[in-house]
Chain A
Amino acid sequence: MSEILMPRRQWIARAGGLVATLPLLSACDAINEAPAVRKILSMGEEMNRASQRTLMDRDALAREFTRVDLSPYFRPNGTRLPAGAAYAAHAAAGFTDWRIKVTGLVARPLSLSMADIRAMSQRTQITRHDCVEGWSAIGQWTGVPLGHILAAAGVRDSARYIVFRCADRLGDALYYESCDMIDARHPQTIIAWALNDAVLPIANGAPLRLRIERQLGYKHAKYVEGIEAVASLEGIGAGKGGYWEDRIDYEWYAGI
């Protein structure tokens, strides 16, 4: 600890020199970039997840609204039109051949058609979508509870997370997201195909998107083509459980 043993005056001179060479603002940003600081700050996410999971009802339902509460226009965000010939062909065909694969730690891997999805028991809910940016929109969603799909596939007890594979490429990689089994089996977590009584628009994630009502918007994966039950998020993307989590440190637990 030479700094502490250093004569006070010398220490002050050094500190002064540091401030003089670095403008104050970049000093602040240097603190922000320091790995130790980032590690400490990320404890906030852990505390939020732990407190919400332990202190609050894990099965609590998000508020459901009525038709009069609907946003006049449901703002799309993120990808509005996935690139690529494959998606364009699906869109041109009205997504009749779209399939969603259920794989990983399941007894019966599935490949469900849109007709299969619509033949399962449905749930319709009018909920508020809260974007991490701060805005909110209320929409009515219809789809299959994810729990039904997981039950049909016979998800194994060893599965701890559900990963959602998406068809939209952002920059260098396909979008993906993940959640724990509590949110996966939550009754309001649905794979939705309709918004406000109409077939899901492309900008909102056609033909299938996730609704995970107790988390922020970026968790609601759009253009879903794969559902994978896994024991660990390691080895998927950069291992942090989602596209934005991997790239810019958005929280994996986005309940707040």
Chain B
Amino acid sequence: MAEAETPAAPLQPVAPVRVYRHRLPARIWHWVNAVTLLILLMSGLMIFNAHPRLYWGEYGANFDRAWLAIGSTAETGHLRVGEWKIDTTGVLGRWTNSEGVEKTWAFPGWATIPTSYSLADGRRWHLFFAWVLAIGLTLYMLWTVVAGHLRKDLHVRRAEWSPHHIWHDIKDHARLRFPKGAAAARYNVLQKLSYIGIIFVLLPLMIATGLTMSPGFNAAAPWLLDLFGGRQSARSIHFIAAWMLVAFFLVHIVMVLLAGPVNEIRSMVTGWFRLPPEGKESA
């Protein structure tokens, strides 16, 4: 090819484009919540260990039919859900603690607060951090509305609601094709739906089902327990919703790892996000 008359511009390292993505209240809430939810999960598993059986309806105790139970035999541990039963020896129902002693509590010591059985201590941690969660969530919900986070960032636009658009986003996620450039700074529809679901559905559901396990609260506001179909139903929903939060956490972590963990975590610490450069995508 003929040489160009003008010399090519020397290649300059392009400084990454940075955008201010997460405002301070969002960052604070994110990290406070991360710690709070971990403590609530682990202390919650301790409380579950006190009676590792779940029921539907108002009542349920050892002589009633449980839809989920973690139990043990002389040698094994198991999880039963309905008629389906799986051997969980070593993890659930029968496991060995850090001193090599076999235990038959449902969830193992490494998953609970504290590590050895104490319903009283588990409740202490749980009922204190329940306040942290509830107060933090309330303030954060107000902030998302007042500061426009809800309207500007989380609001699902009309076009995004179309099944075609949502399906397209699901396919992109499944192929691990993440948005580049300025689009990466905005939430996609699956992110929006996840975050709205967590902030406005799942976390409030955790708090509401938690409250309806309180006999004092139920006397004053019986309508909420009626909504859940009884106290043992509320306890079951509380347990299921907790694992939905765990599932969200796992997907969340996978997405952070795939999208660039350093950039993502840095943006949740400093607020500043580096846009992944455009182009270079194979056709």
Chain A residues within CB distance 8 Å of chain B: 23, 25-26, 28-29, 32, 38, 40-45, 47-48, 52, 56-57, 60-63, 65, 69, 71-73, 75, 128, 130-138, 213-216, 244, 248-251, 255-256
Contact = CB atoms under 8 A, between A and B. Distances in A.
B51 A133 contact: yes
Nearest to A219: B215
Contacts of B220: 52, 56-57, 60
Contacts of A215: 215-216
Nearest to A215: B215
Contact of A28 (B115, B216, B225): B115
A130 B213 contact: yes
Interface of A is mostly: loop
B126 to A, nearest CB: 8
B219 A136 contact: no
A128 B130 contact: no
B94 interface: no
B115 to A, nearest CB: 5
Contact of A29 (B115, B218, B219): B115
Interface stretch (B14-22, B58-66, B196-204, B262-270): B58-66
Contacts of A40: 128
Contact size range, B: 35 or more
Interface of B: 47-48, 50-51, 53, 58-64, 98, 109-110, 113-116, 118-121, 123-125, 127-131, 211, 213-222, 225, 231-232, 235
Nearest to B127: A44
Contact of A48 (B53, B64, B127, B225): B127
Contact of B221 (A38, A56, A135, A214): A56
B64 A28 contact: no
Given A44-B124, A63-B219, A249-B120, A134 B214 contact: no
17 contacts: A25-B98, A41-B125, A44-B130, A48-B127, A57-B219, A62-B215, A63-B218, A63-B219, A69-B59, A73-B63, A75-B63, A132-B50, A133-B51, A136-B232, A214-B215, A216-B215, A256-B217
Given A23-B98, A128-B231, A256-B214, A248 B219 contact: no
Given A38-B124, A133-B51, A251-B123, A32 B217 contact: no
Contact of B127 (A45, A75, A131): A45
A63 B218 CA distance: 8
A69 B58 contact: yes
